[in-house]
Amino acid sequence: MRLHVADHPLVTHKLSVLRNRDTPAVTFRALVEELVTLLAYEATRNVHVTPVDIQTPVAATTGVTLADPKPLVVPILRAGLGMLEGMVKLVPSAEVGFLGMVRNEETLQPTTYAERLPEDLSNRQCFVLDPMLATGGSLSAAIEFLFQRGAVDVTAICILAAPEGIAAVERLTEGRDVTLVLGAVDDHLNEHGYIVPGLGDAGDRLYGLV
Ligand code: PRP
Ligand code: URA
């Protein structure tokens, strides 16, 4: 597994506002989108491209274009949906599939309640979006699901992670081509499986209590 943790004052600044419990939902949503765009720049470093001939006003030259099949972006509902717009702004030709997962707040085990993805992900690069990597149960299950469908590599973009979650993803996806791109790594998980200091419940802060 490859790990990239953002080391940039703009990311830390935006994260600090996000963490503040007094930040209203409208600002929270805008910041999540901005943070994804910053992280997506790093996450797409190894995106597949193919050469194209182009003619500038001055000369003929060669450039690149995103290769086929186009990357697949997979937000994990609900909270991952808040990251989608920021990602597709940067990669507008990407296709989008959806995974709905919810963690049981007692057992901390994830269940999948929705799936809308291509049956065959052969040769596809997949980019999973989920703001929070806590125990790692949800993300590991999502990544495994994509590899079962034939994905060649999976890059997950998370805004915050706990060390326990990173270790779990590494263990549970061993032997797979997985990259984690993170805004920050926090201190630990508390007894309720929440990231400390974290930002609270990302889904609730984006969309309200359910
Ligand atoms: C949150 C978060 C991740 C998961 C992380 O979603 O968005 O999907 O918890 O926890 P884990 O690493 O311990 O699995 P949640 O289940 O609260 O659903 P929501 O997005 O609908 O709020
Ligand atoms: N899910 C969240 O939304 N926040 C956490 O801290 C852990 C899981």
pLDDT digits (tens, 9 = 90+) for 18-39: 999 999 999 999 999 999 999 9
How sure is the predictor about 210, in pLDDT bands with cuts at 50, 70 and 90? confident
| CATH number assigned to the domain covering 2-48+67-207 | 3.40.50.2020
pLDDT computed for residue 25 by the predictor:
96
pTM listed for this prediction: 0.97
With 90 as the cut, is the pLDDT of residue 167 above it?
yes
Round to whole Å and give the CA distance between 55 and 27.
Answer: 43
Known active-site residue 107: yes
pLDDT computed for residue 209 by the predictor:
83
| CA-closest residue to ligand 2 atom 3 | 201
Round to whole Å and give the CA distance between 200 and 207.
Answer: 13
pLDDT digits (tens, 9 = 90+) for 89-129: 999 999 999 999 999 999 999 999 999 999 999 999 999 99
Mean pLDDT in residue range 81-86 = 98
| CA-closest residue to ligand 1 atom 1 | 132
Q: Which residue in 97, 116, 94 sits closest to 44, CA to CA?
A: 94
Residue 197 vs residue 208, higher pLDDT:
197
User: Which value does ipTM take for this structure?
Assistant: 0.98
Ligand 1 atom closest to Cα of residue 80: 7
Residue 88 alpha carbon to ligand 1 centre in Å: 21
Mean pLDDT in residue range 150-178 = 96
Q: What percent of the chain has pLDDT over 70?
A: 100
pLDDT digits (tens, 9 = 90+) for 121-133: 999 999 999 999 9
Residue ranges of the domains in the chain? 2-48+67-207
Round to whole Å and give the CA distance between 79 and 161.
Answer: 14
**C-alpha distances out from residue 190 to 78, 113, 138, Å:** 22, 26, 17
